Structure 1
Amino acid sequence: MGAIAVTMHPALAAGRAAVITGGASGIGLAAAKRFIALGMKVCLADTNDAALAAAVAALGAPAGTALAVRTDVSQLADVQRLKETAYATFGEVAVLMNNAGTAPGGGPWDHYERWRRVLDVNLWGVINGVQTFAQAMIDQKTPGAIISTGSKQGITCPPGDTAYNVSKAGVKVLTEALAHELRNVPGCRISAHLLVPGFTFTGITRPRRAEKPDAAWWPEQVVDMMVERMSAGDFYIICPDNDVTTPVDHKRIQWAAEDIIQNRPALSRWHPDYKDAFAAFMKA
C-alpha cells in the first residue's frame, strides 16, 4: 500500500497571512519561504532593519505579499504595533509563529542581565504574541494556527544555560495551556503547536561554526517537518537531527520525567552515580 496523503493544515492555504517573529533568518525565514511557496502572504518581524530588508528580498515574493516590521518581541507595544500593521495590510492573520529567540543566558547564580534578556525575548516574547494575537484570531472564525518554537533544553533541561532552559520550559507550559484553552472555546478554529527543533544550523549556532556540522539539520528540514506534523494535527513537533533520532529523544525525555517518579537526584542523567544506569537504559 502507498503512503496515506496528509491534508494540509487549513491555515496553510493560498491567500492566507502569516506573522513570523524572528523571521529575518533561520527557521523563521525558512518558514516564510515555505509559506510564500504555498501562495500565502507573510509579515516578518525582527529587530534589525537591514536583515529584514534582505530577508524580504530573498523571498522573491509577489508584490504586496511580503511585509517587514521591525519588532522587539520583549516589548508589548512593539508586538501590538506588529498586529495592527499585519491586520491593516492583510485584513487577517491565519498563522502566528512565535519564533524569535536569543542565547546565551546564564547559570543559576550568574549573568543576571543575560537572564533578563533571554527571558524577555524567549518567554515574554511568546507571552506578548499570544496575548496580542490570540483573541483576534479566534474572533475571525476561520482556521488558524499559533506555533511556538520551544527547545529540547526546555524539556530535559541539561546543565549549562539554565536561563535558556527556563525560558523554553516556560514556552512549553504556555503553549500546552494555550492548546487546552483553544479547544475549549466554542466555535474556535485555531490550533496550537509546539515546535521543538533538534540541532539546527541557525543564527544562534552559526557564530560558533562557519559551516554546517554534519549532525545539524538545515532550517528548511525543520519547517518541512513542522508543516507535515501540524497538518497531521500534532501538538508536539519534536524534530530529530542527523545525530539524534526520535527514539533517542523519547528515551531521554522519559528518563528526565522519571527523575521525579523514582525520586532520583535532580538531572540524574548527568550525575556520576547514575552514569551507568542511564547508559543501560538507553541501550535497553
Structure 2
Amino acid sequence: MVNSEILHAKAVAVITGAASGIGLAAAQKYAKYGMSLYLADIDGESLDKAIKQIKEIEGVGEVFALKCDVSSIKDVLELKEKVLDEFGEIHILMANAGISKPTPAFSLSTSVEELQDNWHKVLNTNFFGILNVCQTFAPIMSRQENASTIIVTGSKQGITCPPGNAGYNVSKAGVKTYTEQLAHELRNVPDGRCSAHLFVPGWVHTGLTGAKNGGPKPAGAWTPEQTVDYMVERVFEDGDFYVICPDNEATNLLDKARIQWNLDDILQNRPALSRWHPNYQARFEDFIAAKQGLSAAARSRSRGRRAPESQEGGFPSQADLSRFRAL
C-alpha cells in the first residue's frame, strides 16, 4: 500500500517517544510538511523542549504534547481521547517509545529480583507499550474515512538476536511478530484504509546509543534525521512493510546476509546463535564475505577476529550494546 497521499498539510501525526532521537526527528520531518502533531513522551522536561523546537518550524500545523507512559493503558487511553478531541482523525501513528536495560538470560552476579525488574521494565515499554498504543488507535484508524498508517519501531536485535541483552531482543522480536500480525489484520478490515509498517533502524546516534551523554556521533552511525528520511521514502513512496535501515557500516546487502544466516540456524539445525559460536565463526565470515562478493583471500584475512572482550566476559559494555543495535 503506497501512502504518499497521507503526506499533506491537513494530516495529523501522533508520535510516542517523541521528545528525542528518532521520534523528535520524525516530528520535525512531518512538521515541514505542514502537518499537525500530537507528541507523547514519558520525559516531560525533554518533551517541553521538543514542542518548542517543533513550533518554530515554518508552516507547521497545530502542535500538542502530553506526558505519557506507554506502558500504562490509562495514559494511552487519555492520549487517544485528547487526540480525537483536537483532530477527530489520525493519519500517521508512530509507536516509537523504547528503553534498554541490562537483561541477560540469567545472571551470576545480579539478584533474580533485580534482573526480573529490568526485564519487566523493558517488556512493559518496548512490547506492551507498542501493544497499548496500537490496540488503542488501530480500531479508530482502520474505520476512519481517510487513509492512515501505523509505523512501529522495531530493532535488528529482534531479528538477528545478538547475545548479551536477551530481554531487549525478546521485546523487539515480539514487536516484529506483533506488527506482522497487525498488518495482516488491518488489510483484512472491510473497506479499511490503514496500513502497518515495521521500521527497523540501523546504528543511529540517539539517547539509547550514547548521544544523551553528549558524545560525538560515531562514523559508522546514521543521524536520526537520515534514518527518518529513509523511513519516509520506504513507507510513503514505496509502501514497504519491512523498512530495514542501513547505516554507514551495515549496507542492505550485509543486513540481508546476516538475517539469512540467522534463519538458516533453524533450517540447518545449527547451534543457537551460531554466528557467535566459535565452531562457526569462520563459516559465518566466509558466508558474509561471499554474499558481498569478496575474494577467497579477503575472506581468509577476515578470520580470527574476536568478539569484544566485554561480550566474551558475559555481558557487553554500553558501547558494544550500541553497536549490537545495528546488527
Q: Distance in 1 between matches of 2:206 and 2:102?
A: 17
Gaps of 5+ in 1: 1-6
Amino acid at match of 2:117: E
Q: Is it true that 1:238 corresponds to 2:244 in the alignment?
A: yes
Aligned to 2:95: 98
Aligned to 1:252: 258
- Residue of structure 2 aligned with 1:161, choices 126, 140, 165: 165
User: Conserved in 2, the CA contact under 8 Å of 1:10 and 1:144?
Assistant: no
User: Conserved in 1, the CA contact under 8 Å of 2:37 and 2:61?
Assistant: no
Q: Is it true that 1:77 corresponds to 2:81 in the alignment?
A: no
Aligned to 1:4: none
User: Conserved in 1, the CA contact under 8 Å of 2:33 and 2:60?
Assistant: no
Give the 3-state SS of the residue equivalent to 1:148 in structure 2: strand
- Residue of structure 2 aligned with 1:32, choices 10, 27, 30: 27
Provide Cα deviations, 1:176-208, integer angstroms capped at 9, x if missing partner.
001111111110100110000000011111246
Q: Describe how 1:80-229 pairs up with structure 2 within 5 A.
A: 80-110=77-107, 111-205=115-209, 206-207=211-212, 210-229=215-234
Q: Distance in 2 between matches of 1:207 and 1:51?
A: 11
Q: Distance in 2 between matches of 1:203 and 1:235?
A: 26
Give the 3-state SS of the residue equivalent to 1:168 in structure 2: helix
Aligned to 2:270: 264
Tell me how far 1:50 sits from its aligned partner.
1.4
Amino acid at match of 2:279: D
Provide Cα deviations, 1:88-117, integer angstroms capped at 9, x if missing partner.
112211111000000024111242111000
Amino acid at match of 1:163: G
User: Conserved in 2, the CA contact under 8 Å of 1:216 and 1:241?
Assistant: yes
Number of equivalenced pairs: 278
User: Conserved in 1, the CA contact under 8 Å of 2:31 and 2:60?
Assistant: no
Give the 3-state SS of the residue equivalent to 2:208 in structure 1: coil
User: Conserved in 1, the CA contact under 8 Å of 2:36 and 2:60?
Assistant: no
Amino acid at match of 2:215: A
Amino acid at match of 2:226: Q
Provide Cα deviations, 1:206-241, integer angstroms capped at 9, x if missing partner.
246611101100000111011100021100000000
Tell me how far 1:283 sits from its aligned partner.
1.1
User: Conserved in 1, the CA contact under 8 Å of 2:151 and 2:198?
Assistant: yes
Amino acid at match of 1:242: N
Query: RMSD value over aligned CA atoms?
Result: 1.3
User: Conserved in 2, the CA contact under 8 Å of 1:141 and 1:187?
Assistant: no
Aligned to 1:49: 44
Tell me how far 1:10 sits from its aligned partner.
2.2
Q: Distance in 2 between matches of 1:11 and 1:63?
A: 15
Tell me how far 1:142 sits from its aligned partner.
1.3
Structure 1's consecutive aligned runs of 4 or more residues displaced over 4 angstroms after TM superposition are 61-64
Larger-Rg structure: 2
Q: Distance in 2 between matches of 1:8 and 1:235?
A: 11
- Residue of structure 2 aligned with 1:58, choices 53, 57, 76: 53
Taking structure 1 as reference, are residues 24 and 185 closer, same or farther at Cα in structure 2, changes over 3 Å only?
same
User: Conserved in 1, the CA contact under 8 Å of 2:35 and 2:60?
Assistant: no
Give the 3-state SS of the residue equivalent to 1:200 in structure 2: coil
Taking structure 1 as reference, are residues 8 and 184 closer, same or farther at Cα in structure 2, changes over 3 Å only?
closer
Give the 3-state SS of the residue equivalent to 1:272 in structure 2: coil
With normalisation by structure 1, the TM-score equals 0.95
Amino acid at match of 1:199: W
Tell me how far 1:141 sits from its aligned partner.
2.4
User: Conserved in 2, the CA contact under 8 Å of 1:105 and 1:117?
Assistant: no
Select between 245-254 and 40-49 the one with higher mean Cα deviation: 40-49
Give the 3-state SS of the residue equivalent to 1:44 in structure 2: strand
With normalisation by structure 2, the TM-score equals 0.83
Gaps of 5+ in 2: 108-114, 291-327
Q: Distance in 2 between matches of 1:10 and 1:179?
A: 19
Give the 3-state SS of the residue equivalent to 1:69 in structure 2: strand
User: Conserved in 2, the CA contact under 8 Å of 1:27 and 1:222?
Assistant: yes
Give the 3-state SS of the residue equivalent to 2:203 in structure 1: coil
Aligned to 1:3: none
Overall identity of the aligned pairs, in % = 51
